[in-house]
Amino acid sequence: MTDTDIEPTETVNARGAACPGPLMDLIGKIRSVEPGAVVCLLSDNDQSLTDVPEWAEQAGNEVLAVESHDDYQAFYVEKA
Amino acid sequence: MTERVVIVGGGTGGTVLANNLAGRLDREIDAGDVEITLINDGPDHVYKPVWLYVPFGQRELENGRRPLEELLDSRVTLRIDRITDIDADAQRLRSRNPGRPIEYDYLVLATGSTLAPEEIPGLAEAGHDYYSESGATALRDELLSFTEGHLVLSVVGTPHMCPAAPLEFVFMADDWFRERGLREDVDITYTYPIQRVHGNPHIAEWARPLMDERDIRVETFFNAEEIDADENVVRSMEGTDLEYDLLVGIPPHRGIDLIEEAGLGDRGWVDVNKHTLEAEAAENVYALGDTANTGVPNAGSVAHYQAGVVSQRLASEIRGQPPTAVYDGKTLCFIETGMDAASFVEFDYENPPSPARPSQKLHWSKLAYNESYWLTARGLL
């Protein structure tokens, strides 16, 4: 998926962070937001492409979109 | 004009830096051209790795404490004080002591980690830890009377101090209960927030088979959301409930609030260039150790190596030379795999760890290093 018009409630910039930093940053932010909120995670770590959907499924949250940019991805995750 | 270097924090990073810099700039200090001040909010230097051994009755808290006054080079001015404000634009600090602000030409933040168990409901009340002096002694008292039941070690937050310590704790507990003939009556479960048992995949791949061999149960993708102390249950964000009889939690960690208030980084971690350790958001400010957001482990060896780099860079800047020293991510770590065996890893930004086969020799090496640590703090090793 690319180019979404979803307006996230919060954005977490984890570009430059080594694994598992981006996923932990996402989990930390999801902890602090209300159910229904959308967190946008920016990550340039390829591992996030598998980590984020796997964790979201485990936790019952939904990956609404994955936006590909030149050198990073934006993951839009809705808290259940 | 005298160049003023102010170091905030008297842990491994701040102490090693102060001593290294005092040795490197001895002539400039003696000539009155440089002043080095280390500010710490207490009189003692604390060597936290000792706490891992306290719950098992192998070390006492006093083994990990020495007065900073004894450890610091006499050319370093020690100030026991708590900083209350960082004004990086004006290059000025304020402290809880009224009076003139503290002005600096170069500031190094080495304020380390603080525990934030309050971020998880119930954790402060129900969970034990060995990441604080009070936690380590309380856990020792619990462990000594724990003869049967379910011991759960839950890594609640990352990053945390010493990423290997949760693995070490369950390996040591397994061995400790075996030696006492209690292991069949004690179940051990280890939980980790992501899909493997450690953040670094190479260490995770090494540790997981050892855990399986030793009947240490594992729950991954387990992020504790709340602790129900009445029911003795840890509930995870992923919907798993885990009953426990004794809960050892690795609490969420934060840096100090001042750093966020000064606009230097989130959650108290300073955003830095991971090679030069210079703050991204301010001039003439460095951070090292846990305080620096570099992505490498929060470990004493990291603080030690980073202190050497910051010392070289500061000395170059003070002498008007271009600083060339860079941090390459070097990390060394002994990992206890029982009461008398340990592994060892060494890695950096480019080269991943390859854990050594556990041996008694490495275990004794770790204990020997812990004893000789005070030479490291003094800048001699």
| CATH number for A46 | 3.30.110.40
Q: Is the pLDDT of residue B349 over 80?
A: yes
User: Two tokens at A19?
Assistant: 């694994």
Residue A21 in any domain: the answer is no
> Which pLDDT band holds residue A2 (cuts at 50, 70, 90)?
low
What pTM was estimated for this model as a whole?
Answer: 0.95
Q: What is the pLDDT of residues B213-225, one digit of tens each?
A: 999 999 999 999 9
Q: What is the pLDDT of residues B229-253, one digit of tens each?
A: 999 999 999 999 999 999 999 999 9
Number of domains in chain A: 1
Helix (H/G/I), strand (E/B), else coil: A62 = strand
The first and second tokens of residue B111, run together, are 């304020």
Q: Which residue of A has its CA nearest to B158?
A: A24
The enclosing H or E element of A75 equals strand A73-78
Question: CA-CA distances (angstroms) from residue B331 to B160, B344, B356, B380?
Answer: 15, 11, 15, 19
Cβ-Cβ contacts under 8 Å for B32 (sequence gap 6 or more): B2
Is A66 part of any domain? Answer: yes
Rounded-to-integer distance, Cα B14 and Cα B40, Å: 9
Separation between Cα atoms, residue B86 and residue B8, nearest integer Å? 11
Per the CB < 8 A criterion, the answer to whether B270 and B293 are in contact is yes
Distance CA B289, CA B277 (A): 10
Residue-range definition of the domain harbouring residue A47: 27-78
Chain A residues with beta carbon closer than 8 angstroms to that of B194: 20, 23-24, 51, 55
Regarding an ipTM greater than 0.95, the answer is no
Q: Is residue A57 in some structural domain?
A: yes
Residues in chain B: 381
Question: CB within 8 A of B3, min separation 6: which ones?
Answer: B28, B33, B34, B35, B105, B106, B318
Q: Does B193 touch chain A (CB under 8 A)?
A: yes
State chain A's mean pLDDT as an integer: 91
Is A1 part of any domain?
A: no
Q: Is A47 a member of any domain?
A: yes
Mean pLDDT across B335-352: 97
How far apart CA B191 and CA B207 sit, in angstroms, is 13
Residue A48 within a domain: yes
Range B8-12 average pLDDT: 98
Q: What percent of chain A has pLDDT over 70?
A: 98
A2 in a structural domain: no
| CA dihedral of A2, A75, B257, B268, whole degrees rounded to 10 | -90
- On whether any CB of chain A is under 8 Å from the CB of B149, the answer is no
Q: Which residues of B touch A31 (CB under 8 A)?
A: 119, 223, 225, 237
Using alpha carbons, select from B262, B161, B172 the residue that is nearest to residue B210.
Answer: B172
Query: Tens digit of pLDDT for each residue in B54-103?
Result: 999 999 999 999 999 999 999 999 999 999 999 999 999 999 988 899 99
Q: Does B221 lie at the interface with A, CB-CB under 8 angstroms?
A: yes
Contact A27 B223 (CB under 8 A): yes
Q: Which tokens is B250 given? A: 């690795």
pLDDT in tens, B287-330: 999 999 998 999 999 999 999 999 999 999 999 999 999 999 99
**Which residue of chain B has the CA closest to A59?**
B238
**Arithmetic mean of pLDDT, B125-133:** 95
Name residue B3's beta-bridge partners.
B34
Q: What is the pLDDT of residue A4?
A: 79
**Chain A CB contacts of B201 below 8 Å:** 19
The answer to the question of residue A6 being in a domain is no
How many Å apart are CA B136 and CA B132, to the nearest integer?
6
CB spacing of B239 vs A60 below 8 angstroms: yes
CB B93 within 8 A of CB B8: yes
Tokens of B22: 């005092």
- Residues β-bridged to residue B189: B152, B217
Q: Three-state SS for A21?
A: helix
| pLDDT grade for B381, boundaries at 50, 70 and 90 | confident
Q: What is chain A's length?
A: 80
B-chain residues within 8 Å CB-CB of A30?
237
Mean pLDDT over the full length of chain B: 96
Residue pLDDT, tens place only, B18-60: 999 999 999 999 999 999 999 999 999 999 999 999 999 999 9
> Above pLDDT 90, what percent of chain B?
97
Kindly list the residues from chain B whose CB atom is less than 8 angstroms away from the CB atom of residue A28.
157
Query: Chain B: residue nearest A48 by CA?
Result: B194
Tens digit of each residue's pLDDT (9 = 90 or more) over A44-72: 998 899 999 999 999 999 999 999 999 99
Q: Chain B: give the shortest CA distance to residue A48, in Å.
A: 11
Kindly determine whether residue A27 and residue B237, on different chains, have CB atoms separated by under 8 Å: yes
∠B300-B304-B306 over CA atoms, to 5°?
115
**Active site amino acids of A:** 19
Question: How would residue B180 be classed by pLDDT, with cut points 50, 70 and 90?
Answer: very high
Share of chain B above pLDDT 70, in %: 100
Q: For residue A3, is pLDDT > 80?
A: no
Q: Which amino acid does the sequence have at B156? A: V
Q: What is the 3-state secondary structure (H, E, C) of chain B?
A: CCEEEEEECCCHHHHHHHHHHHHHCHHHHHCCCEEEEEEECCCEEECHHHHHHCCCCCCCHHHHEEEHHHHCCCCEEEEECCEEEEECCCCEEEECCCCCCEECCEEEECCCCEECHHHCCCHHHHCECCCCHHHHHHHHHHHHCCCCEEEEEEECCCCCECCCHHHHHHHHHHHHHHHCCCHHHEEEEEECCCCCCCCCHHHHHHHHHHHHHCCEEEECCCCEEEEECCCCEEEECCCCEEECCEEEEECCEECCHHHHHCCCCHHHCEEECCCCCEECCCCCEEECHHHEECCCCECHHHHHHHHHHHHHHHHHHHCCCCCCCCCCCCEEEEEECCCCCEEEEEECCCCCCCCCCCEHHHHHHHHHHHHHHHHHHHCCC
Cis previous bond, B159, omega within 30:
yes
Nearest by CB to A23, from B159, B194, B239: name it.
Answer: B194
**Mutation for A interface: B160, B194, B351, most A CBs within 10 A:** B194
